[in-house]
Amino acid sequence: MLEDFHDVAWLAKTRAEGDVNAWLARLPYARHIGIDAIPDPDGEGVLYRLAPAPHNIGNVLLPALHGESSLPSWKPPVRWT
């Protein structure tokens, strides 16, 4: 799996195709947390999704920068181009 990242032809092919999920599928931690990528409906890049899973939920009693309750007016950027 990780050996694909040393395969220049595979890297070039998946990059040309914009196949971010092919890259994510080869990263053990990305597979563990269930992250995937979908094309941005606005055509401006890629949107990343994190699958809802019990092992992805932290301590809900602790404040976090990414939590809606701590910064309700701030929305983090989700596009990667």
**Each residue of 43-68: pLDDT tens digit?**
888 888 888 887 777 766 766 555 44
Residue 69: is its pLDDT beyond 50? no
HEC letters along the chain = CHHHHHCHHHHHHHHHHCCHHHHHCCCHHHHHHCEEEEECCCCCCEEEEECCCHHHCCCCCCCCCCCCCCCCCCCCCCEEC
Taking the C-alpha atoms of 53, 54, 55 and 61 in order, what is their torsion angle to the nearest 10 degrees?
120
Q: Please state, in angstroms and rounded to a whole number, the distance separating the CA atoms of residues 38 and 78.
A: 11
Residue 13: is its pLDDT beyond 70? yes
